[in-house]
Amino acid sequence: MDIMRTLLKRFGFDTGKRLTDTKKYHSELLFQKEWSEEFKQNKDKVLEYWERYRCLDDINAFCNFTDDTRVLDVGCGIATVLHYVKGERFGIDPLADEYLKLYEYPEGIHIRKGFGEDIPFPDGYFDVVFCSNVLDHVTNPQKTVHEIHRVLRTGGYFVLTVEIFREKRKRDSKHPHCFLRKDISSLLGSKFIPVFERDSPWIGVRAFIQGVRESEKKELIMVLEKV
């Protein structure tokens, strides 16, 4: 029990949180330790993935990034899209303190510990918020969407990428949620107006770097305007 409490505190949890939460974040940290070295050597390929499969050119056209655009990446990880857009760039992640030991983010990218369910920024602070294949990782997707809406200015853009399925299935500790398209519509409700939407093959950045180019899995890419 003492060992478990130590692990929980390390990952920023109260000792009353579930064991599955700790397992999820421990598993994610192990993945990021391996991934960080690959990313350092393959930043150009990650950019290619964003352009080819995650519609970065279209996202740029709608969001019109400038040096003054305030951008947040929720659940940023190490290979954050913040490497590839202009602006005052911020990222939050439950494991940010650990990532900062593994990887030196470029100047101008500011990373801090934070959870999607409790984003540590004031109301209306950001022009653009990214959430890239993170919504199925969080504990409470509904609260996370509510928080993204809160920290976006009116007229700001929410850029969502999420893996979608044809039917419900049990996944793993890192992915406690399985979304159908109707689930995403329900989560977004009337908080946002879709201005761009596209289905794309869900290959995965790491798999793409390793040479995979096709997948039957799908992810949904959306740009949504806050109302």
Alpha-carbon dihedral angle through residues 83, 177, 199, 42, given to the nearest 10 degrees: 30
CA distance 170 to 121: 33
CA distance 203 to 205: 7
In which domain, by residue range, is 87 found? 2-226
Grade residue 104 by pLDDT with cuts at 50, 70 and 90: very high
CA distance 209 to 46: 7
Q: Which of 81, 158, 164 minimizes the C-alpha distance to 119?
A: 158
CATH number at residue 42: 3.40.50.150
At 180-204, the pLDDT tens digits run 999 999 999 999 999 999 999 999 9
What are the structure tokens assigned to 200, written together?
A: 């794309």
Do strands 88-93 and 109-113 pair parallel, antiparallel, or not at all (unpaired)? parallel
Domain count for the chain: 1
pTM: 0.88
What are the structure tokens assigned to 102, written together?
A: 């593994």
Q: What is the pLDDT of residue 21?
A: 66
Query: What is the average per-residue pLDDT within 204-224?
Result: 95
Q: At what angle do helices 43-53 and 19-41 cross, to 10 degrees?
A: 110
Is 94 within 8 Å of 12 (Cβ atoms)? yes
Is 121 within 8 Å of 72 (Cβ atoms)? yes
> H or E stretch including 27?
helix 19-41
